Amino acid sequence: MNIKQFASDNKSLIGLIILMVLVSIANANFLGVDNMLNILRQTSINAIIAMGMTFVIITAGIDLSVGSILAFAGAVCASLIAADMPLVVALVMTIAVGAALGATSGTIISFFNVQPFIATLVAMTMIRGATLVYTEGRPISTGSFDVAESFYQFGAGYTFGVPNPVIVAAVVFLVCWFVLTHTKLGRYVYAIGGNENVARLSGVNVTAVKISVFAISGALAALAGIILTARLESAQPTAGLGYELDAIAAVVLGGTSLMGGRGRIFGTIIGALIIGVLNNALNIMDVSSYYQQIAKGAVILLAVVVDSRGKANA
């Protein structure tokens, strides 16, 4: 592989490196080990959601319900921990709830032939409402049993000097990468995104695959909700508002096509890191609040334009 080919395949990685060089010139605190771990920890939540979103987007779908699933799952998990449920049981049950919510959207999409945008928009609204009903609009504390302390460590602690959420995100990355590149399910996901009818005629069970990708997205949103709840030792009814947009932005920045059939899980990680670095840089450079949103929009626009120009030339 020559340099030109590498550059064209890894535009988002090069963009991330350029961004990091520019920020480190502007602020000396940026490149410290502590701040790097800090960025990785803050990015892990969006990265975990965005990896699930990558599956959905490769099938040419979209999942707007991830932020609401995150909030609902967080509330469920907080109340399980507050009820002194063993940690593993609480985590597995919460992730199962997320997967079930995602699978429900997937089922509605495939059986009733509803557009994913509409089906998950409905899910986003209803699950947010269910969260408000469940929490009565108030934060749910994880309580004071011993399990609450180990739950806090799960989100806020370190293992071998690496923040636990980063390790969780790394494991999720390895599993997602393996599933997408080395399993039948992965190949079917790409096939459906490339051409759904051809995939169906070739004997792919499109319904099962679609339900699976939304279940994966829901499960990972719930996992992100668990980490967020653990770090704050409480679940917020308004948690995750707008997270679907950050996740979609990460996926697109990573070079995955919204038209489906094309994309890499590694790119999504880079996309999430670009957003994470940008948020961190704006804070540590003390950029005024009124300019921050313009700066974020501009970087995303630049990345997407560069990416689509590259494709037009190829």
Please report, as ranges, the residues that interact with another protein according to CB under 8 A: 27, 29, 32, 34-35, 38, 41-42, 139, 156, 228, 231-234, 236, 238-239, 241, 279-280, 283-286, 288-290, 292
- CB closer to another protein, 32 vs 86: 32
- CB closer to another protein, 54 vs 280: 280
3-class state of residue 45 by DSSP: helix
CB of 282 to another protein, least distance (A): 8
| Torsion from C-alpha of 183, 187, 190, 191, nearest 10 degrees | -150
CB of 271 to another protein, least distance (A): 18
CB of 24 to another protein, least distance (A): 13
CA atoms within 13 A on the CB side of 95: 14
Cα–Cα dist 84/160, whole Å: 28
CB of 204 to another protein, least distance (A): 39
- CB closer to another protein, 67 vs 193: 67
- CB closer to another protein, 58 vs 75: 75
Cα–Cα dist 230/213, whole Å: 26
CB of 209 to another protein, least distance (A): 33
- CB closer to another protein, 239 vs 252: 239
Name every residue whose Cβ is closer than 8 Å to that of residue 114 and which is 6 or more positions away in sequence.
108
Structure tokens given for 54: 């990558």
Cα–Cα dist 115/101, whole Å: 17
CB of 51 to another protein, least distance (A): 20
Residue whose C-alpha is closest to residue 271's, from 249, 293, 301: 249
Residue whose C-alpha is closest to residue 251's, from 43, 58, 94: 58
Q: What separation in angstroms does the CA of 36 have from each of 1, 112, 233, 251?
A: 30, 46, 24, 21
- CB closer to another protein, 42 vs 105: 42
